[in-house]
């Protein structure tokens, strides 16, 4: 029973953390207090469930326990009575609804919390990390690793942002139309960042990390249900579905990494690709073309290899040229160089790489992998090996490291005459 109770608590924490935090924080306007209350509720569950049994609705049990923890904390604080009573009543109403027959579902406030995290009063550098932690439950260390900063610096950034939500009284609501587009861009970036972390977590991280991709897709669908006429939201869902359709082909039967242009297209999910195609066409009916739609179009070109057997590299060059005009990130610039190298030769691709700011690429693993691949055709073995070793050292994925090492060994062999 002890192991079952612990697994049940861990499962509900993985699956419902963001939903519970959003519900609690939307009513108390205090994210740290909501996190503390839920953390205490989880600790109580680990202590109580082994003795009394796992409740029929673990999520509801945690919400009620966390709500009571919040009530006790508010009573300890010197908070105005009227404000305290308003919050307590809101929590009690939620508890009553969940105790009613069929009342096992409570409002999902995560979309509102996403927008609260992108409020102009919060530093832009904290928007995506804050959403990853509060809505998706990532810890500061994992977020710091993704953003290439120290865990201490990231923790301080997150604490400041959460304090700002409380002190500025930031509302948990969908913003008015005039403020929506700027805020929406931040929300979409956070959803895509979560998807990327889950995508990179294919090589054996815990199930919570691996579930991020599915959670990101769910959040995007929920966002579209609220804002169905936003083309970039449509484009992002299309982009993620194109990528997700290829998940089963990214490793072979032995678990080895398989690059995109060598993947077995028979393993690609045809239904998911069809949905992504339809979403991309829908996004194209609006009058705004943004970076997520452009990235979805890039993935659509790759997906065409499933039926044509070839990749249209010139089309990819055109789309990457458009993408870097809209959003010249180091990732877009590196990918642009890679496709130019395929379309116009290694020298052209390397010329593009050489134009990227050196400060941006020091710790950016894909840059060094692309550079190594392009250099392999130049005959400069020392430069090739240096690039490969840098790419290997920066990769956290064992299959990717093995793949790059094999490529490095292959590059040492003299070219066939």
pLDDT digits 0-9 by tens, 365-416: 999 999 999 999 787 889 999 999 999 999 988 999 999 999 999 887 765 5
The pLDDT of residue 9: 73
Provide the mean pLDDT of the chain: 82
Q: What's the pLDDT score for residue 26?
A: 66
- Write the pLDDT tens digit of every residue in 78-98: 544 444 444 444 444 544 444
Q: Do residues 260 and 267 lie in contact, with contact meaning Cβ atoms separated by under 8 Å?
A: no
Distance CA 31, CA 39 (A): 12
Phi, psi of 282 (to 5 degrees): -65, -45
Per-residue pLDDT of 344-366, as tens digits, reads 999 999 999 999 998 889 889 99
Whole-angstrom distance, CA of residue 250 vs CA of residue 248: 6
Q: Say if residue 113 is in the same domain as residue 224.
A: yes
Q: How far apart are CA 354 and CA 41, in angstroms?
A: 53
Q: What is the DSSP string of 341-404?
A: HHHH-HHHHHHHHHTS-HHHHTT-HHHHHHHHHHHTTTT-HHHHHHHHHHHHHH---HHHHHHH
What pLDDT is attached to residue 77? 59
User: Residue 105's beta-bridge partner residues?
Assistant: none
CA 49/CA 30 separation, integer angstroms: 28
Which residues have C-beta within 8 Å of that of residue 213, sequence separation ≥ 6?
Answer: 194, 195, 198, 199, 240, 244, 247
For the chain, percent of residues with pLDDT exceeding 70: 85
Is residue 302 domain-shared with residue 338, that is, in the same domain?
no
250 CB contacts (<8 Å, ≥6 apart)? Answer: 202, 257, 258, 263
**With 50 as the cut, is the pLDDT of residue 207 above it?**
no
Q: Report which of residues 5 and 63 the model is more confident about.
A: 63
Phi/psi-derived region of residue 102, left when phi > 0, alpha when psi is between -120 and 50, beta in every other case: left
Q: Are residues 403 and 331 in the same domain?
A: yes
Average of per-residue pLDDT across 238-265: 92
Q: Based on the domain organization, do 29 and 97 belong to the same domain? A: yes
User: CB neighbours (10 Å) of residue 183?
Assistant: 20
Mean pLDDT computed over 174-180: 77
How far apart, in whole angstroms, are the C-alpha atoms of residue 193 and residue 189?
Answer: 6
**Number of structural domains in the chain:** 4
Q: Answer yes or no: is 376 within a domain.
A: yes
Amino acid 73: pLDDT: 66
Does residue 267 share a domain with residue 249?
A: yes
State residue 120 phi and psi, 5-degree precision.
Answer: -60, -25
320 inside domain: no
Quote the CA–CA distance of 27 and 231 in Å, as a whole number. Answer: 31
User: Do residues 346 and 295 share a domain?
Assistant: no
192 lies in the same domain as 275: no
If you search the block for the tokens 């609705």, which residue do you land on?
57
Identify whether 321 is part of a domain: no
**What mean pLDDT is predicted for residues 44-70?**
78
- Do 242 and 150 sit in the same domain of this protein? no
Q: What is the pLDDT of residue 366?
A: 94
User: What's the gap between Cα 58 and its chain centre?
Assistant: 26
Beta bridge partners of 251: 257
Give me the mean pLDDT over the 141-167 stretch. Answer: 83
Distance CA 122, CA 354 (A): 35
pLDDT of the residue at 58: 78
Residue with tokens 């419902």: 16
Report pTM.
0.78
Question: Do 141 and 87 lie in a common domain?
Answer: no
- Per the CB < 8 A criterion, the answer to whether 350 and 337 are in contact is yes
Domain identity same for 91 and 27: yes
Q: If you search the block for the tokens 């924080």, which residue do you land on?
A: 25
Residue 30 belongs to some domain of the structure: yes
User: Could you count the other beta carbons within 10 Å of the beta carbon of residue 416?
Assistant: 4
pLDDT at position 135 is 79
Domain carrying residue 276: 230-311
| Residue 299 near residue 243 (C-beta atoms within 8 A) | yes
- pLDDT grade, residue 14 (50/70/90)? low
Q: Is residue 162 part of a domain?
A: yes
Confidence class of residue 100 from pLDDT cuts 50, 70 and 90? very low
Do 88 and 123 have their domain in common? Answer: no
Question: Which of 105-114, 288-297, 299-308, 334-343 shows the lowest per-residue confidence on average (mean pLDDT)?
Answer: 105-114
Boundary (domain end) residue, out of 200, 228, 256? 228
> Residue 371: which CATH number?
1.25.40
Residue 41, phi then psi, degrees to nearest 5: -65, -40
| pLDDT (0 to 100) of residue 15 | 67
User: Looking at the structure, do residues 156 and 246 belong to the same domain, yes or no?
Assistant: no
Residue 165: what pLDDT? Answer: 83
* 388 inside domain: yes
Residue 190 lies in a domain: yes
Question: In whole angstroms, what is the distance from residue 256 CA to residue 259 CA?
Answer: 10
Among the candidates 106, 140, 161, a domain finishes at 106
What is the mean predicted confidence (pLDDT) over 279-298? 94
228, 263, 298 - which closes a domain: 228
More confident residue, 187 or 45: 187
Q: Is residue 319 part of a domain?
A: no
Alpha helices in 201-230 (DSSP H): 207-210, 212-226
């Amino acid at each position: 029973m002890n192991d079952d109770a612990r697994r049940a608590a861990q499962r509900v924490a993985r699956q419902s953390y963001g939903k519970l935090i959003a519900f609690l924080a939307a009513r108390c306007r205090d994210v740290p207090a909501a996190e503390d209350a839920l953390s205490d509720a989880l600790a109580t569950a680990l202590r109580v469930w082994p003795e009394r049994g796992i409740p029929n609705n673990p999520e509801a049990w945690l919400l009620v326990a966390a709500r009571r923890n919040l009530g006790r904390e508010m009573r300890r604080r010197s908070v105005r009575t009227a404000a305290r009573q308003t919050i307590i009543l809101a929590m009690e109403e939620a508890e009553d609804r969940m105790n009613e027959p069929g009342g096992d579902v409570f409002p999902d406030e995560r979309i509102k919390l996403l927008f609260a995290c992108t409020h102009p009063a919060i530093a832009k550098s904290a928007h995506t990390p804050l959403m990853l932690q509060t809505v998706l439950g990532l810890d500061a260390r994992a977020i710091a690793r993704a953003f290439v900063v120290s865990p201490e610096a990231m923790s301080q950034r997150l604490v400041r942002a959460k304090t700002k939500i409380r002190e500025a009284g930031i509302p948990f609501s969908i913003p008015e139309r005039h403020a929506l587009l700027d805020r929406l861009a931040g929300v979409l970036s956070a959803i895509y960042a979560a998807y990327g972390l889950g995508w990179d977590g294919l090589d054996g991280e815990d199930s919570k990390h691996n579930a991020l991709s599915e959670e990101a897709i769910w959040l995007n669908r929920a966002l579209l249900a609220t804002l169905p006429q936003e083309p970039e939201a449509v484009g992002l869902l299309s982009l993620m579905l194109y990528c997700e359709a290829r998940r089963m082909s990214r490793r072979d039967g032995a678990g080895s990494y398989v690059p995109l242009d060598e993947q077995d297209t028979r393993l690609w999910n045809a239904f998911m690709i069809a949905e992504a195609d339809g979403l991309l066409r829908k996004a194209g009916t609006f009058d705004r073309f943004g970076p997520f739609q452009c990235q979805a179009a890039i993935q659509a070109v790759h997906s065409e290899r499933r039926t044509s057997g070839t990749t249209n590299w010139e089309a990819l060059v055109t789309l990457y040229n458009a993408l870097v005009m809209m959003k010249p990130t180091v990732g877009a610039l590196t990918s642009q160089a890679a496709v130019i190298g395929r379309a116009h030769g290694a020298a052209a691709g390397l010329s593009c790489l050489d134009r990227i700011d050196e400060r941006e690429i020091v710790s950016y693993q894909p840059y060094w992998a692309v550079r190594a691949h392009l250099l392999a055709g130049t005959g400069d073995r020392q430069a090739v090996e240096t690039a490969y070793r840098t790419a290997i050292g920066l990769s956290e994925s064992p299959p990717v490291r093995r793949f790059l090492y094999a490529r490095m060994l292959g590059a040492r062999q003299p070219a066939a005459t």
